[in-house]
């Protein structure tokens, strides 16, 4: 069975164009598919392939490039949620604040799932979901605060307005990388007690039995699985073919319900005739691919929106 490895590491990297080509060649040699993001601050990737190939990839990063001690999540999957390999250079491996250096600046106290589970019993902690609102809507920890943000960069202003600087803050995200930056930012702005879930939600779901868990609902993931349950299995949740977000009220093909005036009945977005025709053709192609037993790149998302959404948060 193929496996999926999602990981990040904040560490100083240089000569990024050369590094990109070397990583791309090695990943291709190993038959890996997925996305690798590089920045001067570090690496963030989600790759699928055989277990042996992923082991070799981790060894290669450490031995040839000094990138070790990854914060990672690894799971066996029925089908790989990627169709091809991308290695990209970005200003940040997770967009937030370029001035922050999580590899150098203090970050929050990272708690393993068992210690995090115990922390959730306390009533003096401000439990904060650092993810976007559409992620929170389909699942979160019981009692977690939703900042109701559309992008991660909005978290800074929200935190200053809503979090009590004198009370402990416990934050979490999908795989941990967002909390590295958010916790460093809070500590730099006067917050003294900041905790973060090591390895993120996915690590918690893997280690804590469902019957004991404080997690409720599904966890949105940034690949073609869309969302996973407590057993880390895809739930079959749909995303909108127009905005690439999980929303209720979609048809099985992901096409948003459109009024005769070409307005989405869910969010009100207006579609020009050409754009609407393109969406309908896309969902038709997805349906044809499924009938053939194949995957369609996307899988349902409009290409530009999907790319912005998925490259790459965790």
**CATH number (domain holding residue 166):** 3.40.250.10
Which pLDDT score is estimated for 313? Answer: 58
With contact defined as beta carbons under 8 Å apart, do 253 and 280 qualify? no
Is the pLDDT at 310 greater than 50? The verdict is no
Show which residues are catalytic: 173
pTM given for the model: 0.87
Which CATH number goes with the domain that contains 54? 3.30.70.100
Residues 75 and 124 in one domain: no
Q: What is the pLDDT of residues 86-141, one digit of tens each?
A: 999 999 999 999 888 888 889 999 999 999 999 999 999 999 999 999 999 999 99
Judgement on whether residues 8 and 45 belong to the same structural domain of the protein = yes
CA-to-CA distance for 130 and 228, rounded, in angstroms? Answer: 18
Q: pLDDT tens digits for 235-247?
A: 989 888 888 888 8
Assess if residue 273 is contained within a domain.
yes
- List, for residues 198-253, the tens digit of each pLDDT value: 999 999 999 999 999 999 999 999 888 899 999 999 998 988 888 888 888 888 88
**Residue-number span of the structural domain to which 66 is assigned:** 3-89
Would residue 231 count as lying in a domain?
no
Query: pLDDT at position 314, please?
Result: 67
Tell whether 295 and 198 lie within a shared domain.
no
302 confidence band (pLDDT: 50, 70, 90)? very low
In a domain, 19, yes or no: yes
Instruction: Compute the average pLDDT of residues 185-191.
Output: 95
Q: Is residue 158 included in any domain, yes or no?
A: yes
Q: Which long-range contacts (CB under 8 A, 24 or more apart) does 203-212 make?
A: 203/73, 203/112, 203/113, 203/175, 203/176, 204/113, 204/116, 204/117, 204/172, 205/230, 205/231, 205/232, 206/73, 206/75, 206/113, 206/232, 207/112, 207/113, 207/114, 208/113, 208/114, 208/117, 212/117
| 91: Cβ contacts below 8 Å, ≥ 6 apart | 39, 98
What's the domain count of the chain?
3
Q: Give pLDDT, residue 295.
A: 55
Q: Rounded CA gap, 258 and 265, in Å?
A: 6
My answer on whether 127 and 176 are in the same domain is yes
- DSSP H helices in 13-108: 16-29, 51-65
pLDDT tens profile 22-75 = 999 999 999 999 999 999 999 999 999 999 999 999 999 999 999 999 999 999
Residues 209 and 113 in one domain: yes
- The answer to whether residue 232 sits within a structural domain is no
């Amino acid at each position: 069975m193929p496996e999926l490895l999602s990981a990040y590491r904040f560490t100083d990297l240089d000569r990024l164009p050369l590094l990109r080509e070397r990583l791309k060649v090695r990943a291709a040699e190993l038959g890996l598919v997925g996305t690798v993001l590089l920045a001067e601050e570090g690496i963030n990737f989600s790759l699928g392939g055989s277990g042996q190939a992923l082991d070799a990839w981790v060894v290669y990063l450490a031995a040839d490039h000094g990138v070790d001690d990854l914060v990672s999540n690894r799971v066996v999957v029925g089908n790989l949620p990627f169709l091809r390999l991308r290695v990209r250079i970005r200003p940040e491996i997770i967009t937030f604040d370029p001035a922050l250096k999580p590899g150098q600046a203090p970050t929050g106290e990272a708690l393993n799932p068992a210690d995090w589970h115990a922390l959730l019993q306390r009533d003096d902690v401000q439990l904060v979901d650092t993810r976007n609102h559409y992620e929170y809507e389909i699942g979160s920890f019981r009692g977690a605060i939703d900042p109701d943000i559309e992008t991660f960069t909005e978290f800074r202003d929200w935190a200053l307005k809503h979090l009590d600087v004198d009370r402990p803050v416990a934050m979490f995200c999908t795989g941990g990388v967002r909390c590295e930056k958010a916790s460093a930012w809070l500590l730099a702005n006067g917050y003294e007690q900041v905790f973060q879930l090591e390895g993120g939600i996915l690590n918690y779901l893997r280690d804590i039995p469902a019957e004991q868990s404080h997690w409720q609902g599904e966890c949105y993931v940034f690949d073609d699985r869309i969302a996973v349950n407590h057993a880390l299995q895809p739930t079959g949740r749909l995303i909108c073919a127009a905005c690439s977000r999980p929303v209720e009220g979609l048809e099985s093909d992901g096409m948003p319900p459109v009024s005769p005036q070409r307005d989405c009945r869910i969010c009100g977005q207006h579609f020009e005739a050409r754009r609407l025709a393109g969406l309908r053709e896309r969902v038709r192609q997805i349906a044809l691919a499924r009938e053939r037993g194949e995957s369609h790149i996307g899988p349902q998302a409009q290409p530009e929106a999907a790319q912005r959404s998925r490259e790459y948060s965790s």
